[in-house]
Amino acid sequence: MSNPSLLILPGDGIGPEVMAEVKKIIGWYGDKRDLKFDVSEDLVGGAAYDAHGTPLHDHTMAKAQEVDAVLLGAVGGPKYDVLDFSVKPERGLLRLRKEMDLYANLRPAQCFDALADFSSLKKDVVAGLDIMIVRELTSGIYFGEPRGIFEEGNERVGINTQRYTESEIDRVARSAFELARRRGNKVCSMEKANVMESGILWREVVQKVHDEDYPDVELSHMYADAGAMQLCRWPKQFDVIVTDNLFGDLLSDAAAMLTGSLGMLPSASLGAPMANGRPKALYEPVHGSAPDIAGQGKANPIACVLSFAMALRYSFDQGAEADRLEKAVEKVLADGVRTADLLGEEGVTPVTTSEMGDAIIGALDASL
């Protein structure tokens, strides 16, 4: 049997630096666990624009459709602000999500014990936090038509459309309920049914999926603004949160920060199963390309490393190896190893991106 295939798209800014650490870890799994991948690498975002004049070349798109999983670093940067909207780096990422039909975006927000002091919230509010945001990723206002900037009388009007079909809501709701069954068995669905028709439909469909197929899972509904407030007030009330594309974008950044640093959080974007039974999948850190610190060895590679752990779990059926990697990260943090984003303690010197990667490999070695 051939090795599972991985397409690596480091992208822009700190993307290549954090991905370099993941490549070391992929190498470690090949050497020490005989878990080998066929790895190929390509360009996305600004890097692809610089090379090809497009943020995602068709041959890269085709490759992404063929592999077992895609691992992406980050896209974007101030250098590309002047570009036309249609070729901005972010369009490359959005095309991947849309054409691979990666409708369920899993964004865990987990607070590592060693980092509970780094949160801007009180320690007892975040210690032990473990929630999962399931964000719809291929529809809603990100993709709805009509969209654009149009002339209307003597001024211009900017238009985006929030649009959800029943089947789009149905399938992401199922993803959330399935996940909840393997976790705390609780789902909170967030929308704005008080002001948006799409929110009314969202609530109805989630409730119907629940009543028909997941009555064993505890379901609640919340307006997304109240949800944001509750996330800051007492986040541990949540297990799985399911929400639309735009609210999910906002709520997941807020949830990420509860854990102390945006540099810690991975994500998985999953679609329907392929012929081999694996879901179409793309894994990426929640953080962006952080152009202000790019190229300085300051970036925290943990979010990208944990994204690879999610790939081990969700694409490659290697739950035990995913646990091993997550425990290695936990161990390194417990030992006090800190990149610059995690400082705050007296007398701690930050390690570089690459030293953090080496420390994780050390902890992996120690786990054997």
Q: Which residue lies nearest ligand IPM, judged by its C-beta?
A: 90
Q: Is 93 in the site for ligand IPM (CB under 6 A)?
A: yes
Active site annotation includes 192: yes
E strands present in 205-278: 218-223, 240-243, 266-273
Q: Which residue lies nearest Mg ion, judged by its C-beta?
A: 249
Nearer to ligand IPM, 68 or 249 (CB): 249
Considering only the stretches 84-92, 118-126, 221-229, 244-252, report the one whose residues sit in contact with Mg ion under the rule CB under 5 A. 244-252
Q: Is 249 in the site for Mg ion (CB under 5 A)?
A: yes
Question: For tokens 């646990």, what's the residue?
Answer: 323
Active site annotation includes 38: no
Q: Is 249 in the site for ligand IPM (CB under 6 A)?
A: yes
In single-letter form, the type of residue at position 357 comes to: G
Instruction: Give which of Mg ion, ligand IPM, none residue 134 binds (C-beta under 5 to 8 Å, depending on kind).
Output: none
Beta pairing class for 104-110 and 266-273: antiparallel
Q: CB burial class (10 A; 0-12, 13-18, 19+) of residue 303?
A: buried
Nearer to ligand IPM, 4 or 89 (CB): 89
Distance of CA 224 to the CA centre of its chain: 19
Q: H/E/C letters for each residue in 87-119?
A: HCHHHHHHHHHHHCCCCEEEEEEECCHHHHHHC
Active site annotation includes 253: yes
Considering only the stretches 116-124, 141-149, 151-159, 241-249, report the one whose residues sit in contact with Mg ion under the rule CB under 5 A. 241-249
How many chain residues bind Mg ion (CB under 5 A)?
Answer: 1
Site track for ligand IPM across 51-90, x = CB under 6 A? ---------------------------------------x
Q: How far is the CB of 258 from ligand IPM (least distance, A)?
A: 16
Q: Is 136 in the site for ligand IPM (CB under 6 A)?
A: no
How many CB atoms lie under 10 A from the CB of residue 182?
A: 9
CA angle 227, 231, 322 (to 5 degrees): 115
Nearer to ligand IPM, 96 or 312 (CB): 96
How many CB atoms lie under 10 A from the CB of residue 237?
A: 12
CB-based contacts of 367: which residues, under 8 Å, 6+ apart?
A: 324, 327, 328
Active-site amino acid positions: 142, 192, 225, 249, 253
Residues near ligand IPM (CB under 6 A) = 90, 93-94, 249
Residues near Mg ion (CB under 5 A) = 249
